[in-house]
Chains A and B, each alone.
Chain A
Amino acid sequence: MIELSGIEKQYTTDGTETKVLKGIDLAVEKGEFVAIMGASGAGKTTLMNILGLLDSPSGGNYRFEGQDVTHLPDRVLSHLRNHSIGFVFQLFHLLDRLTVLDNVLLPLLYSQEYPKDATERARHLVELVGLQDRVKYRPTALSGGQQQRVAIARALINNPALILADEPTGNLDSGMGREVLGLLQRLHGDDRTIVLITHDPNVAACAGRLVQLADGRVVADRMQQPVLAS
């Protein structure tokens, strides 16, 4: 599913070079639920952006679903993001001016073909995340947990093989956080891989594998018995 070898990332700001990722080797199998932990500034988000094809590494090699994606044109990368990856962000990233349903439908607008059953699919997902009676709401009229569930429904609309969640519970209280985690646990399965970034050990405990990142390097990587969130 994911094969990273020797991934490096450095930023040059005002002439000074900062190495954020210093050679990451990581392989994630299909169907895994991986938590990536690390202190603030360890490079978690940077790594996720590379995993999600939002950013390209300065060095190393990335194979995604068997395909070398290290150097691909924007069009192909965009298609892969649209088709195979679902993002869940800490700040939800919903469009306030659109309804819940339209937010969930948004990725389909960038698909090569707009499916005939789009609305049906979106309604089904909204129901899956338990918001069927909020379909026509604007995100501003929802609680944080509800907003994040909308974002998860949006991430699922194209039935992607990989879900990347960067601190999905970071802006939620523990109750709502558990709800969201429970949802992610239910979504992960044989065909869906989840990579979750967090610096909360309780959140990381819900994953089947824990990768520790420190100062741009993988410092620990072990399997674990996932704790059920709800």
Chain B
Amino acid sequence: MNASKLARTSLSILLAHRARTLVSCGAVFIGVAALVLMVGAGQAGERDLRARIREMGSNNLAVRAGHFQTVGRHVQQVSRTTTLLPQDVELLRRQLLGVRRLAGVATDTKVVRFRAEAQALSIVGVDPEYFELQRLVVARGRAFSAEEERGLARVAVVGATAAHELFELDDPIGQQVRVGGVPFEIIGVTAKKGGGLFGADPDQDVYVPLSTLLSRLLGRSWVDVVLVQADSPALFPVLRHDIAEDLRRAHHLAAGRPDDFTIQDPAALLAAEHEMGEAFRALVGGVAGVSLATGGIGIIAVMLMTVRERTREIGLRRAIGATRRAILFQFLFEAGLLTGLGGLAGALFALPANALICRLAGWPTVWPVAAMLAGTAFSVGLGVLCGIAPAVRAARLEPAVAVRAAV
């Protein structure tokens, strides 16, 4: 028996039944494509997540004003308060042990104008320590100083992307811009960093002294967040306790009243985002599972039909010397080939689709080659498995009966 030549005749028969082959490949195509996409997106998301954990520093705690909840990708503010003040930041700076850096942060969106150019950007008011705490490197020019912060200086450091869009070919350093109508001088541009948490992009932001933002632009006294960089994540439990105690006392919260702030650690936030990824994977995995199951059932049906339609062919093959085993293998092979082609096509389709998803999601592009191979191999296995019953039926046909068949 000549397996490769037999395979070739099987292939030409399948190709001649183009429509049926396409239909029965379809579900497997979707299944394997979903499978590869799931793995690809999972890997990309995972890699992105790790990069961001590294990037943002796993030592940071965030103290937010008000009460927050993390729902999926979004941090929702359940209640808003105006009680977290710059003096709280100073209090924590004085009181806390095991803290390396500390920065108050307030954010709002303002229109930034440079000549005819106008863009709505996030204006982030920060303590000067913020840059080091967030590992934001000021690539050109300089960051603002503590004196400038205290003196409500109208100076700004722009994110790399924002600078590029706003100033294009001009040198940003020393340029005058208007932020919400107030003139500011650009004193620095940050290096490209990427990977902000929950969709924020540090490269798109404009950084100004916290006090300047609060009094000159927003006319308010409270901050949104206090970032606390611990000496080590091991100190998180202690710090959470100390921060809560200090702030409750400062805010005169009687026992039994809820906190008017929320302490988050980024690792936990990332874990929440990771969970979100799990949900996505479960969904796509479900799609893959359902289509593969559908494909499997479809293949059984198609192969049974094939065996019925090709009874006389089976009889002929037996007459010219095919053993039962050769017939069995032929139909197992055809089933595996059918699903294998569908799977391979799905895997090949998933590759650019995955790259596109990675790009849209802003993830590093991964090429899930192992998943492609595994998906294709799996689809072949699925076909062979589903082909067993029809192939056994074909092999069991009595040659004398089969050869007399009407078809």
Contact = CB atoms under 8 A, between A and B. Distances in A.
Given A55-B398, A98-B9, A108-B2, A83 B403 contact: no
Interface residues of B, number: 28
Contact of B319 (A74, A81, A95): A81
A96 B310 CA distance: 11
A214 B16 CA distance: 44
B313 A110 contact: no
Contact of B16 (A54, A97, A112, A114): A97
A149 interface: no
B400 A49 contact: yes
B319 A97 contact: no
Contacts of A168: none
Given A109-B1, A110-B317, A93 B312 contact: yes
Contacts of B403: 49, 54, 89, 93
Interface string A69-101: 000001100110111000101010101111000
B323 interface: yes
A78 B12 contact: no
B1 A54 contact: no
A4 to B, nearest CB: 16
A217 B321 CA distance: 29
Contacts of A52: 319
A6 interface: no
Contacts of A111: 1-2, 321
A114 B2 contact: yes
A182 interface: no
B321 A97 contact: no
Contacts of B325: 75
Nearest to A9: B400
Interface in B65-124: none
**Which 3 residue pairs of A and B lie closest in terms of their CB atoms, listed nearest first?**
A82-B321, A55-B400, A110-B321
Interface of B: 1-2, 5-6, 9, 12-13, 16-17, 312-313, 315-326, 398-400, 403-404
Given A54-B315, A54-B319, 5 more contacts: A78-B321, A78-B326, A79-B321, A82-B320, A93-B316
